[in-house]
Amino acid sequence: MVSATTPRLVTPLTLRLASGDYVIDPPVVLAPMAGITNAPFRTLAREQGAGLFISEMVTARALIERRPETLRMILPGKGEWPRSVQLYSVDPHVMKAAVTMIGKENLADHIDMNFGCPVPKVTRKGGGAALPYKRRLFNLIVAAAVDAAKPFGIPVTVKMRIGIDSDHQTYLEAAKSAADLGVNWVALHARTAAQMYEGKSDWDAISRLVDHLKPTGVPVLGNGDIWSGADGVAMVEQTRCAGVVVGRGCLGRPWLFKDLAAAFAGDESRHLPTLFEVREVMFRHAQLIVEYFESEERGCRDLRKHMAWYLKGFRVPSELRRQFGMVSSLQELRSLLDQLVDQPYPEAIGESPRGRTSHGRPVTLPDGWLRDPDELVELELEDAFSGG
C-alpha cells in the first residue's frame, strides 16, 4: 500500500496555459482515438484519474470549414479542463488557419498534432505517420502550428510513430526538429506505421528518444502496450520517459487510469472492479453518451461497440452478449445489466490486448513519396473527414 513516505515514481508534467498552469498528475494521457475519445469517454477517463484527455483526431480543413460534426467532436465535456484537441493536416497554411481559429474563438487550451496515424486513408495523402519522412514539410507544419498558437498561449505537442517501416525510421530526427521548433513534448507510439498494431511495441526506441531529446529539455511520453498499472510503471522504469499515453488499453476499461495513478504513487495493490461495478460504469457511459448526442437512439448505437470490451473475460451468456450488442435504449440497457451475475474481475483475460489488432502491412503512400525526404511536394488536401 502507498504511504506518506512512498517515493513518487514520476514527476508531474506542467502545461503552461493562457488560463493558468495545469499540472498533469499523474502524467498519464488518454490518447486520441477515432470514434472513441469523444466527450463522454473523456469524462469517464477524467473521473477515473487520467491526467490529460485528448479529443478524437480532427482534420484542420474540416475545422476551418466548420463542419458541424467536427465542431461537435471538439466540444468539451461538462467541467472539462484543459480542453485538448488533436489536429491533423498535410498543409502548413491550413494548419495555421485552424490553430488561429482555435485561438481566436477560444476553442481549446492545448493542441496535439497527429503524426502517427497509420491507416491508409491518412497515409495515402502523405499524412499521419507518413508525413515526418518529408522533413521540410514536417518542419513547416509544426512551425505553423507553434507560431500560430503562441499569441494565444496555447501549448503544442506532437505524437508520432517510429517511422513508416523499419527501413524508414524518422522519429529521432523529427522529434528533435519538433523540439527545436518549440513543442512542449513528444509522444512516441513505439511501432512503425507498417506494424499497425501488430506485435510488441519497441520500448527501446522510447529510451533512445529520451536520450536524444535530453539536451533540449523536451519531455518524451511513451505509448504502446500499457494494459495495467504495472505496465505503466515498467515503461517509465525501463525507458525513463516522463509519462505515458494510453490508447487501446483503456477500451472498455476506463478504470485503468485509476490503476495507473495508484501504481505511479507507489501503491502496489490492484484497482480492479467486480462485474457489478463494471455495469455501473457502463450505465454511466450510456447516460453521458446519450446526453452528448442528444438522441437516445444514436447514443445507444454508438455505445454498442464498447459492450464487448466492457464484458471481455466475464462469464456472460451468449444470448445476453448478443443483446448488449444490439441495445437501443437506456431502459433496455438497464434491464440487461440487471441480469448480470456479480463476479470478480477476470484479470488474466481482462488485461490482455484489445481494440485494433490490425496485422502489419505495407504502408499506402503517395506516388514517389520515398524518393527524396527533402522534396517539397504539393499534396492533395486531406478530405474533410474527422478521425482516422
What's the CA angle centered on 258, arms 254 and 262, to 5 degrees? 155
Q: Provide the residue type at 130 as one letter.
A: A
In three-state secondary structure terms, 191 is: coil
What's the CA angle centered on 49, arms 3 and 335, to 5 degrees? 120
Our separate counts of H helices and E strands in the chain read: 15, 12
300 is catalytic: no
- What is the distance of C-alpha 296 from the center of its chain? 26
For 124-168, the DSSP string reads: TTT-GGGGGGSHHHHHHHHHHHHHHHGGGT--EEEEEESEEETTE
Among 293, 268, 311, which residue's Cα sits nearest to residue 35? Answer: 293
Among 195, 263, 225, which residue's Cα sits nearest to residue 351? Answer: 225
Rounded Cα distance between 242 and 188, Å, is 12
For 229-294, the DSSP string reads: HHHHHHHHHHH--SEEEESGGGTT-TTHHHHHHHHHTT--S-----HHHHHHHHHHHHHHHHHHHT
CB-based contact 264:26 (threshold 8 Å): yes
Cell 503524426, located at residue:
115
Q: Provide the residue type at 329 as one letter.
A: S
Q: What is the CA radius of gyration of the chain?
A: 20
State the number of CA atoms in the 13 A half-sphere of 3 facing the CB.
2
Please list the active-site residues: 117
